[in-house]
Amino acid sequence: MKSLLPTSVQIPKVLTIAGSDSGGGAGLQADLKVITALGGFGMSVITAITAQNTLGVTRIQDIDLDVVEAQIDAVLLDIGVDIVKIGMLASPEIVKTVAKSLRKHGVKRIVLDPVLRATSGASLGGDDTAQAMISELFPITTLITPNLDEASLLLGREIRGSNDFKLAAEELLDMGPQAVLIKGGHLDSTHTQITDYLMWRTIEDGLEVVQTKEFKHYRVNTVNTHGTGCSLASAIATYLADGHDLSHAVAKAIAYVEAGLEAGRFLSIGEGPGPLWHMHDFYPTTLLDEKDKH
């Protein structure tokens, strides 16, 4: 009897190129949790190893350039990808190696989270790394997702408020990426509403058109925010790989992270700011129910 089962099942294949977070809340560990939670197949290229927990980063060890390149080759020559998400690239040399490898393999869709500083304040890159990202990666990137600190570093001036988002996005878009999402979560924490600003290029009737959209959502009252930037970029990448258009992918990713922050409010992991709860769709009430019993 002929089997009715399909001979192959395709799911979104997402490669994260990022640093390792030994505490498990951010970096490629968070990326892989998000990709899996949203139904994708996650793969990883480690660019740096960090000694890190909820209190901060104590040490960073870059991975040798030839090893970074070999990891990319190994994944792309066999499994292939639908999209690449890039996080921490701690040096200009690593940026150039990653860009060269992605060009070599003809990768078409890239989400770049320009991680340059940890929430704790530890430097995860510098001006030279930022300039290398602009020259090497921005021209081949689908979307960049800087927070206010990262956007300010990339532009060389401080972004003070949401009124600055439009001009900042225009300037960042002129640097080469197809789209820019400026995240407003680092604005004054007394504000109960967060505004994220998306600007992207499209082609209509043979002409380039620039479109914009604001995403307004409430600020979750929690200290457990470790890994939110990594998680948002990975969620956007996974939704894009699953066939959603850019605006819809961003909206769904924001909703996913917001739900993870809400569910993670009651997590007690470490002595500092803990992570959001990436698996809220699978274990949505366990933590809340346990709290309500006491």
- Verify whether residue 230 is a known catalytic residue: yes
Non-local (6+) Cβ contacts of 54 within 8 A are: 23, 25, 226, 269, 270, 271, 272, 273, 274
Torsion of CA 60, 61, 62, 68, to 10 degrees: -120
- Verify whether residue 183 is a known catalytic residue: yes
Out of 47, 142, 225, 238, pick the active-site residue: 225
- Verify whether residue 185 is a known catalytic residue: no
Out of 19, 25, 185, 227, pick the active-site residue: 227
Out of 42, 230, 260, 264, pick the active-site residue: 230
- Verify whether residue 229 is a known catalytic residue: yes
Out of 40, 229, 260, 274, pick the active-site residue: 229
What's the rounded Cα separation, in Å, for the pair 216 and 193? 7
Out of 19, 125, 183, 274, pick the active-site residue: 183
Long-range contacts of 197-200 (CB under 8 A, 24+ apart): 197/162, 197/165, 197/166, 197/169, 198/169, 198/246, 198/247, 198/250, 199/166, 199/169, 199/170, 199/173, 200/143, 200/173, 200/246, 200/247
Out of 228, 260, 264, 274, pick the active-site residue: 228
What's the rounded Cα separation, in Å, for the pair 177 and 154? 13
What are the CA-CA distances from residue 50 to residues 27, 118, 202 (Å)? 9, 11, 38
What amino acid positions are annotated as catalytic residues? 183, 225, 227-230
